[in-house]
Structure 1
């Protein structure tokens, strides 16, 4: 079985409730370092290949400091474990995914750190 296929099976077992997220994390750690190609294979049919991208850039130079890209199926799965609070409501992101929203969800400037943080659905 191919390396990324083993990862996909583990993620599928978590999604189906056959193993806990903690057990899945241990199995993924045993398989080695996670890479985007392995995670990118896991999508739900309604995600349509769309992705959630978190991008952190330097305000002055525009240089990217970090970029994280996840398939919407993985995002939807992860949102199940996040409780709503006064600063974040996972249902807002779920609705954006269900309504096929494309574009910027969050755009924050942190002038103290000189960073811009964007969260987009593409």
Structure 2
């Protein structure tokens, strides 16, 4: 098991311990992290919601990858671990609208925002 996955598992367990997510959400995240298709009720290749926030000169600011099956739980997790997601992305993008579009089968690039005032680019897509 790679060090990144071990660190992510510990973060999930800490969130359960701190009461930030419940045990069911924690198990779902651990199953998605381990790529356990039977527990995720998905026998096909997993799809991902990807959020990228970059500066106008293309330097990364925020990178979030969420298993599509866990988009609601994953966004909660992402908001807790990366406050920039709330500050920068949520001010520009309605994540509830994105979640609804994804649940209704949207794929490919969903959002592409260039915010000249804050010198930020936001891209949201499903892979």
Q: Structure 2: any 5+ residue segments left out of the alignment?
A: 22-28, 76-92
How many aligned positions are there?
91
**Is structure 2 residue 62 aligned with structure 1 residue 66?**
yes
Kindly provide the CA deviation profile for residues 66-116 of structure 1, in whole angstroms up to 9, marking residues without a partner as x: 20111112214468xxxxxxx8473653343342x3211111111111110
Question: Would you say the 8 A contact 1:55–1:64 is kept in 2?
Answer: yes
Cα RMSD over matched residues? 4.1
Quick check: which has more Rg, 1 or 2?
1
Question: Would you say the 8 A contact 1:40–1:70 is kept in 2?
Answer: no
Q: 1:93 aligns with which of 87, 91, 99?
A: 99
Instruction: Tell me the SS of whatever aligns to 2:118.
Output: coil
TM-score, scaled to structure 2: 0.49
Q: Structure 1: any 5+ residue segments left out of the alignment?
A: 12-22, 30-36, 80-86
Q: 1:102 aligns with which of 80, 90, 107?
A: 107
